[in-house]
Structure formats: C-alpha cells, structure tokens
Structure 1
Amino acid sequence: MVDMIATKRLKYGTRRLSAGEPFEARHDRDARLLIGIGKARYATRDMVADDAPKYVPVDPRRNSLDDTHRPAETDERPALRAEYEAKFGKRAFPGWSAEVLREKIAAG
C-alpha cells in the first residue's frame, strides 16, 4: 500500500475523493499512474540530504564569457599547435592538452 494525496477529484476503487484527501493506493503501479496523470501525489515529503549543496545565486552583472573560472592556459600550447599544423598540414584538436600535442608530434 502506498500513501497518496489526491490533487484533483477522482474515483479510486470504491471511493470518490476530493482534492487534498489522503488515501492508500493498492500498488506502486497505481501510484505511479495516478501521479503521471496528475490526479495524486505521494503523501510523504521529498527527501533531501542534509549535506546537499546549497543554491548559490549567480551575479547577473558577471559576464558569462569571463574566463576567470578556467585554468590559465600555458604559453606552450599555442606553439605546439602551430608546430602540429606545420608538421601535419591540419589544425590540432582544441581540446588536446600540451602533453597530448607533444605525443602526437613525436609519434607523427
């Protein structure tokens, strides 16, 4: 049995229920169906972990393209990309790190 609360008027089993009236669904399958069609909700409250991260509002004045949250790119990656392009005749994948670029250049 699943404890439910009717959100709209409905007939369930042999009962006519009003909105806000508690009842017990016979099966979990019935409970999921009633929730899916919007006629009822679970009687229990939502469980939230005590250590759940709290919502931190974002400053709307902050530029979304600001790169202050990204790690600083070292000066060697542009040089390695240029070397890769000169050697292979095509541009390097922009997601490759300096180590990957060095391996690709050495292997090629």
Structure 2
Amino acid sequence: MKSQSYMTRAMSARDPRFATILGKLGYARGDMVAQKPKAAPATSSDDPLPDLRKRYQDIVGKRAFHGWDAETLQAKIAEAKAAK
C-alpha cells in the first residue's frame, strides 16, 4: 500500500496554492502551474481614509482602527493634538 503522507496528498492535488508552496520548496511538478495573483483594483484618489490613517499613526504612534470612518478619525486626530 502506498504511503499517504501529507506531502503525497498535496502533490496529487491540483490546487494552484499547492503549486506555489511546493514549487518554493523544490517539489514543482509540470502539470501544476502556479497562476499569477490578480491585480488589486485601483483605489480612488478621492478617498481620504488612507491619508487620515497615516496622519493618525504619525501623531498618536499607533495604527488607526479600520472600523473608523473619516469623521471619527478626524475627531481622534483633533483630540490627540489637543492632548499634546
């Protein structure tokens, strides 16, 4: 009976994630070709959140909570500036 270790099962899978991982480990197979990741959608330049998050991190020294909207971030930044 053939051994059914994790590596044996992973090598027989056709999942492209296994192709990427096993290729990096040196177990690449010809029939398993890793697909390139899809390009991320372009973000709108009208969105102020990335800039506000960067300003919050510069002022407070901690990363902003991603659940906060622009108004909340502006209030937190104003509060942190007043405290300093």
Where on the TM-score scale, by shorter chain, does this alignment land: which range?
0.3 to 0.5
TM-score (norm 1): 0.32
**Higher-strand-fraction structure:** 1
